[in-house]
Structure 1
């Protein structure tokens, strides 16, 4: 069974999508439509902008979404048996399996980016990658700290990203290093994604998601919040709303996709991060990537 996976924030690169725009009439049409929907020329920033230009929140999330979704739409043999996406990538996955149409997916991603930006401005917060410790030890240390600090991304065995207040993350990094973490590295992100500090964004996005039409998908999506295959549109909506303040269970998602019969994983969109994480979950897993126009 063919599994397709879609990357999240951090995978962007200058020039992303330009080859698609220049070589595929369908891609050009969709990119032009995206500029109209967003009310600014995101293609100018994607194709000609610097890495710093691409880091703007209002740009990053729609840019990665567009690159992934438009790539998928230009593939001749795109027939997924199951899909999943890492954080933001879940929106790409939901367009890929037909749950959301292109326009609605892009609008929700844009609203999500703005809502997250606002939540980040309310309270300074951050995230850190913890490498080389068991999940249970990281969870235990986070729970013992008298600040907001939680497990946010279960990326692969031995790699867990934590999220919370700046004081909470600093304290956690210090304690986890003492516990033997190989690395406790603060990440260059705008805020504490997938933590209770995103509650204002979750509330704002909930209204937008509930007002959007979710269709019956062509295949199940394995969702971040529970790592389970879901095909019911209402359940998909609820899980998508919960995603902003809940951890991304990527390790468990890959394990469950393999248990569900996945024989190959294809990452669609910028970068190769997910292929690497999948290999760390199961060295035998067959992985491939599509990050440029294939014709």
Structure 2
């Protein structure tokens, strides 16, 4: 059986009708979506089948991306042997399920726990994606904002109150290569999200089914291999509060000669590899099942 490396993206990979083709090719995905909807409490099927722009709303995109990454991974496992799982941000959730560290049902429950807890906090504000301006210079000149998702010293996300993000945008617009205010209902307030992570770790009932992984996961936090259940728990409970170092992932995998497949229909990882000048072909998973 041919080996692959399977990439699982986070928010930003969602597109209207994401998952519709998967329904046609992998019928088990219907049952998994039923389970996801039951736990999440919203009709996700209508969003997918109608190609609704509501998928960009965080309340829909989080469970859909998690369901899609996991379901597509199961479909790929019928044809390929997954050598390593490479998640990014939200992609950690389905990767934990694919590695069988926790059942998929438990993963959706944990994702919902995170979502509900974060939504109780005052996280009003905006996110600003920055490319092409040194993060150290930005930190010197921009105060009162939070830096996160640090893919590269020249590629990162900042969060803050709306007026702070406007001020940051005005400061950076003549200096950065690319700026984009992201459609997110909250900024990633690192200090507050650490509190969420600590609360999650305390909920022992969510962790009762922990097992050692059947597939290693490349941690997007420190680029180590997740090869036991304790590391898996740490990764899952920390992913919302620690920066992701995508450039380091690129370097780690640059010598791998096997097929790369991603859980995206928008070329999410392929675009990021190009951003980091990595000439690596990544196939969209839906075309590989």
Per the normalisation by structure 2, the TM-score is: 0.86
Mean CA deviation greater in 231-240 or 34-43: 34-43
Distance 1:123 1:193, change over 3 A: closer
Identify the residue that residue 48 of structure 1 maps to in structure 2. Answer: 50
Structure 1 runs not aligned, ≥5 long: none
Identify the residue that residue 289 of structure 1 maps to in structure 2. Answer: 284
Aligned residues: 285
Identify the residue that residue 153 of structure 1 maps to in structure 2. Answer: 149
Distance 1:194 1:96, change over 3 A: farther
Identify the residue that residue 118 of structure 2 maps to in structure 1. Answer: 116
> Does the Cα contact within 8 Å between 2:250 and 2:278 map onto a contact in 1?
no
Structure 2 runs not aligned, ≥5 long: none
Identify the residue that residue 131 of structure 1 maps to in structure 2. Answer: 131
Per the normalisation by structure 1, the TM-score is: 0.84
Q: Over aligned residues, Cα RMSD in angstroms?
A: 2.6
Q: CA deviation at 1:174?
A: 3.4
Distance 1:270 1:68, change over 3 A: farther
Please tell me whether residue 216 in structure 1 is matched to residue 232 in structure 2: no
Identify the residue that residue 271 of structure 1 maps to in structure 2. Answer: 266
Q: CA deviation at 1:8?
A: 0.9
Distance 1:38 1:129, change over 3 A: closer
| In structure 1, C-alpha distance between the alignment counterparts of 2:88 and 2:66, rounded to whole Å | 11
Please tell me whether residue 238 in structure 1 is matched to residue 239 in structure 2: no
Please list the CA deviations of residues 211-230 of structure 1 after superposition, one character each: whole Å capped at 9, or x if unmatched.
32332112321122212222
Q: CA deviation at 1:156?
A: 5.5
> Does the Cα contact within 8 Å between 1:163 and 1:195 map onto a contact in 2?
no
Please list the CA deviations of residues 2-39 of structure 1 after superposition, one character each: whole Å capped at 9, or x if unmatched.
32111111222232223333443322222222233333
**SS of equivalent residue, structure 1 residue 193:** coil
Please list the CA deviations of residues 28-71 of structure 1 after superposition, one character each: whole Å capped at 9, or x if unmatched.
222222233333332222222620x2233322100111112111
**SS of equivalent residue, structure 1 residue 27:** helix
